[in-house]
Structure 1
């Protein structure tokens, strides 16, 4: 019987004047020995993500549909998005070009990229630019 009483009094799970049967902390229990956990910094698209977005842009521009989008996904990074052509084609330095928007979604991060592509002499779409979208 004595062993049971000793265990209950020094076992560390005693009440110590606090209500409840569970261990609890208040501000006086904080030691500062463990640093604050900061949220992971969200990284932008990887080179592989950008390559897949470029392929999707080329595909959707090749289709030529006015109101279409082309999805893309990188299972390795978990990133995904879609590419949507904007407005009509225009001429630039004698080549047919189009602007487009590409979405980028990864976990809880969403952003947009703007791009421009021009048709080559072989009829393929060459992505001339793809960068973060800035409202004008």
Structure 2
């Protein structure tokens, strides 16, 4: 085995054998890729803000309108947009479907819902759940 030493004047540097590792992993150590942050699920508070926005935008009754919403406690936000014409639902009530966006950190998803009109022109949210594309 040949040992090579190189001296640099005044620098105090030296090189050791080229087959010596700077760091060595133990057999039990495992490395892996950094995993993405977990998806966040809407909290009941987030859904309450989205329901209020849905009721507001449907009460306005204007065509092609959206209503933003935000939950300051969780940082979640989004908007609600009616997506279909009204139809007659249970008990002869006027009903309408809508989509709500949900954004929290890197999580982005869509929620689908339906609502039916109740007294004084307000809307009762019947469903609000993750959107299932067909």
Q: TM-score range by the shorter chain?
A: 0.7 to 0.9
Q: Give the aligned partner of residue 110 of structure 1.
A: 108
Question: What is the count of residue pairs matched by the alignment?
Answer: 118
Equivalent position to 1:86, from 83, 88, 94:
83
More strand as a share of residues: 1
- Return 5+ residue gaps in structure 2 as ranges: 1-11
TM-score (norm 2): 0.75
CA positional deviation for 1:121: 3.5
Equivalent position to 1:66, from 44, 63, 80:
63
SS at match of 1:99: strand
- Return 5+ residue gaps in structure 1 as ranges: 1-7, 19-23
1:30 matched to 2:25? yes
Alignment of 1:4-83 (within 5 A): 16=16, 29-31=24-26, 32=28, 38-83=35-80
TM-score (norm 1): 0.74
CA positional deviation for 1:76: 1.3
SS at match of 1:53: helix
More helix as a share of residues: 1
- Provide the rounded CA distance (Å) in 2 between the counterparts of 1:80 and 1:17: 58
Q: Which stretch has the larger CA shift, 29-38 or 67-76?
A: 29-38
